[in-house]
Structure 1
């Protein structure tokens, strides 16, 4: 399969922007943890990053686009035959439904489509075999994952990243490094995991806590929890009543959750989701 016009070949359906810069490809390789574990690559595209990865690691790649699978099978016939590359054609999220992405310890390395990047990273947090996440994402997303408490960008994603390990924004990538160039600035994000964290109820709690980032944290919590309970919890933890969501350390969110989680039931979560949808709908008017 010969691909002559990359811009025309890129699929809007799958959010494809192909990284064609050797400089940035090498920077990604250099940022990888140096331990020899297998690499899982999601969305290899035309295989530019894959080509560099198979030089240094055994790789399992997941590609949803059937046209690209045909190209990759042809382009990487030798590494596939030699066992250095395993190519899986299909939806990687379906593979994750059965548990871990791979049945052995691995590092996730990928140039992720923007529309699915956050979901992929959160899946990796929960995967007990995933040891780190090194991904190209929209800079705004990378900043949110890597932000520290006290910074304006500190968010629910920051808390989840800090709970699982350590997040670092490695470097930005200029738009001209891609074909076609994306409409946003990209960045490479590294998250080195200490634990695999999977608590959907905690994630729901964080959505409540950060529902309105500019409001007081207590006000966000009052949208779901009884005022007496919120006030008593803030007093017990010696938290200022005017604290904003981005000002609380990750440990504080775990303490708050432990105090409030017994009052977080399905009905309250449904109520909060309806309120969030209403705000989104009204914001679009």
Structure 2
């Protein structure tokens, strides 16, 4: 069966099928206790889907037409009873401002090559209330890092600006077929609001352009020196401070002062 799964997986879609029953059960146990529908991106062979449809109504998005046929056959009963709605095609083409026309929680083993983009779109989507996603460990650490930690960066600030993030499970490559070359994590993000300030995100991109340099030096490449100096003085920030040493609230205060 493992060889069959590996043969089915397509590299262009970044497919690594999660089939560790213990991990699947732990994902279900980690789901937010909400009344919302589940959106699943990249259901693959339906390993997680079979558990999701037992507890919630699910809308699943699958780009692989071969897997769509498999899912349509394997979950025919769930589709017939509306426990599962299957949408075949690129999820990014379905996703305008809102992925679904009702509140939902995103629960998925995300294809790693589009995971960051998917998470950022979900953080901006007012219909998305929570995310519970399997992603590459390095990426999960960037979304969940606290100020002062090595992985703290623009993704951390964006996430903390809209909610709370935590890694709830570490998953080894052996939990997948085929096994990826990286370790994975299940990341939980509980949203309080929505990501919607493109100007602030551009400011963060500049602030973290060269993480090993000082925040002041990075920002000096774009912002007026006198305004920047006054903002640092107002916030009592040393010019030697580095981007990862500033907290999320101070990034917002600094952004407001230099506009």
TM (norm. structure 2) is 0.97
CA distance in structure 1 between the aligned counterparts of 2:104 and 2:35, rounded to whole angstroms: 9
Paired residue for 2:50? 51
The counterpart of 2:189, out of the listed 169, 183, 191, is: 191
5 Å-filtered alignment, 1:153-192, equals 153-192=151-190
Paired residue for 1:5? 4
Structure 2 portions without partners, runs of 5+: none
CA distance in structure 2 between the aligned counterparts of 1:134 and 1:150, rounded to whole angstroms: 25
Paired residue for 1:30? 29
Match of 2:32, SS state, is: coil
CA contact (8 A) 2:53 2:83 kept: yes
CA contact (8 A) 1:105 1:130 kept: yes
CA distance in structure 2 between the aligned counterparts of 1:260 and 1:73, rounded to whole angstroms: 54
Q: Give the number of aligned pairs.
A: 259
Paired residue for 2:14? 15
Deviations 1:71-107 (A, max 9, x none): 100110000000000000011111112x211111110
CA distance in structure 1 between the aligned counterparts of 2:164 and 2:82, rounded to whole angstroms: 32
The counterpart of 2:242, out of the listed 241, 244, 254, is: 244
Paired residue for 1:226? 224
Instruction: Quote the offset at 1:153 in angstroms.
Output: 1.0
CA contact (8 A) 1:43 1:64 kept: yes
TM (norm. structure 1) is 0.89
Deviant stretches of 4+, over 2 Å:
none
Paired residue for 1:208? 206
Change (3 A) 1:3 1:138: closer
CA contact (8 A) 1:44 1:110 kept: yes
5 Å-filtered alignment, 1:117-132, equals 117-132=115-130
Instruction: Quote the offset at 1:3 in angstroms.
Output: 10
CA contact (8 A) 2:16 2:179 kept: yes
Match of 2:190, SS state, is: strand
C-alpha RMSD of matched pairs (Å): 1.3
CA contact (8 A) 2:2 2:177 kept: no
Paired residue for 1:69? 68
